[in-house]
Amino acid sequence: MDLSPSAFHVERRPRAGYGLFLTTPCPPLGPLFVVPPPALVNVKTLAPLYPGSKRLSAHQLISLHLYLHKPLDSTQESGDNLFGPFISILPREFDSHPLTWVIEQTLNGDNEPGSTFLALLPRSTRFLLSTLAGRFQRDSNAVIKYLLPLGLVEWSLSRLPTARHLLTQYLFSSVNTRCIYYRIKETRSDEANVTLCPILDFANHGWHHSDIHPVSNTETSNTRPKARDEFQFLATEHISKVEIGKEIYLRYGGHSNQSLFVEYGFVNAVSNQEMESGTYPAEVDVQTIVTGLFEGQGAVGSWMQTVLQNEGYWGDWTLSTSPNPASPSFRLITALRLLAMGSEMTCVPTGDEEEVACQPWRDTLLGRSEAISPSNEARWRMALATICDTVVEEGTTGLARTSNFSFDPQGRPWSRWMRDNIALLWSEQVVVARAVLRSLEDGVEF
């Protein structure tokens, strides 16, 4: 790998962590830097080091390697001969990551300030965190199961004595704080198509756009990579507006603030005006609220849940301000139409009755009709208004509790920043729900 200054248009500098900064002029689509395949940390470079590791997922294998080669403390470097320099510059702890709070609470009971922050979170965020914690536990168990026959578990646990350390390794790779998409397998959707990447790892997230465009010959030719195929990073059209010495950003993806918070541990710092106008695509997850509405329908509600699951429309229900005007997602509209239809049922339909009952609803899915009936449209829109009112009420209360949270200024230095992150999650709920209520009042056809 060419590490000479002429090989890079960027350099790392201390910031909030680190950042990538432009050092020389670079035209759009010009090369910023190149990373050869052997310098990437993925299943292709790690598999030869771990016999029998095919049963591990890519995330598990990368976690395993980092687990075994992480420096013992902040004063040491990694002893890994292959990726030691890269591993040595990775964060040594993730105390401010929400998943750390969940695991610490599971292991040690209430643990401040994590337990307090967890209590301040919206319930939909807590639900996603519990799902992520379950994924962590499965990955952790898989790594330990792999180490057992090799006689490495006792050594590794004595070296890193608590599950907290394994959590840190997991956060490096399995939570999207570090891994990016990189084509390794024949199929684009293969879960093994992820990698840790030196240099790019310093790039911070920017929600407006990305200044960096990853390019791989494998995507151009739609084939698995060849041994000598380099991973190139080009400047996007936005780079022409970046002055020398200014930071350049990588857009991690079109994730909602809630997803960013759960997976990465931060949110996009945006204003209420940017969210309300749709300049920033603000989004609210209403799954926990809507699930409660179905549960309130008893046996009919359980039947409707099964119908939605069979059709692939159960869950992932959101409200959004973009595109303008603010609206519910199609998935949410679909679920609420069925909910409104089921509210008129006195018993669960069976056999041919079920087919007849569901056909008008299925016609809206297939584009055969725009609505089930005028009365059904009125009922599901009323249900949507109730959902929005609930979101506004919960958001207003949650924002007040979070804003009143007091922290020890001599304690965790990230406490104020994290409080502001959580406050923004609550603000986003209120802004989005009120915007959707205005759309309903204006008679917007969704």
Query: In DSSP terms, which residues pair with 235 in a beta bridge?
Result: 212
Same domain for 302 and 436, yes or no, is yes
Same domain, 339 and 201: no
Inside any domain, residue 213:
yes
Mean pLDDT in residue range 233-247: 80
Q: Rounded to whole angstroms, how far apart are CA atoms 231 and 183?
A: 10
178, with CB counted inside 10 A (0-12, 13-18, 19+), is buried
Which domain, by its residues, includes 387? 283-441
Looking at the fold, whether 219 and 139 belong to one and the same domain comes out as no
Q: Does 139 have pLDDT greater than 90?
A: no
Q: Which two tokens stand for residue 214?
A: 């990853």
Q: Same domain, yes or no, for 299 and 436?
A: yes
Does any domain span residue 151? yes
From 130, 157, 173, the end of a domain falls on: 173
Residue 67 inside a domain? The answer is yes
Query: What pLDDT, on the 0 to 100 scale, is given for residue 410?
Result: 62
Q: Does a structural domain hold residue 186?
A: no
pLDDT single digits (tens) 355-408: 899 999 999 999 999 999 999 999 999 999 999 999 999 999 999 999 998 876
From residue 245, alpha-carbon distances to 6, 20, 22, 163, 341 in Å are 16, 9, 5, 41, 59
Are 414 and 96 in contact by the 8 Å Cβ rule? The answer is yes
CATH number at residue 12: 2.170.270.10
Helix/strand/coil percent split, the chain, to 5: 50, 10, 40
End residue of a domain, out of 114, 141, 173: 173
Is residue 178 in some structural domain? Answer: no
**Whether 24 and 138 share a structural domain:** no
Mean pLDDT of the chain: 85
305 and 223 in a single domain? The answer is no
pLDDT band at 172 (very low <50, low <70, confident <90, very high): very low
Number of domains in the chain: 3
Tens digit of each residue's pLDDT (9 = 90 or more) over 25-73 = 888 888 888 898 999 999 999 999 999 899 999 989 998 888 888 887 7
pLDDT bracket for residue 161 (50, 70, 90): very low
Q: Domain for residue 184, yes or no?
A: no
pLDDT of residue 173: 45
Q: In terms of domains, do 29 and 47 share one?
A: no
Kindly state whether residues 435 and 289 are assigned to the same domain.
yes
Residue 330 lies in a domain: yes
Does the predicted model carry a pTM greater than 0.75? Answer: yes
Q: Which helix (H) or strand (E) holds 91?
A: none
Q: Identify whether 308 is part of a domain.
A: yes
Task: List the single range of 158-167, 243-252, 391-400, 426-435 with lowest mean pLDDT.
Answer: 158-167
Query: Are 203 and 20 contacting, i.e. CB atoms less than 8 angstroms apart?
Result: yes
Same domain (yes/no): 112, 259: no
Q: Please check whether residues 297 and 433 belong to one and the same domain.
A: yes
| Same domain assignment for residues 295 and 368 | yes
Shared domain check, 55 and 29: no
Domain boundary among 208, 234, 263: 263
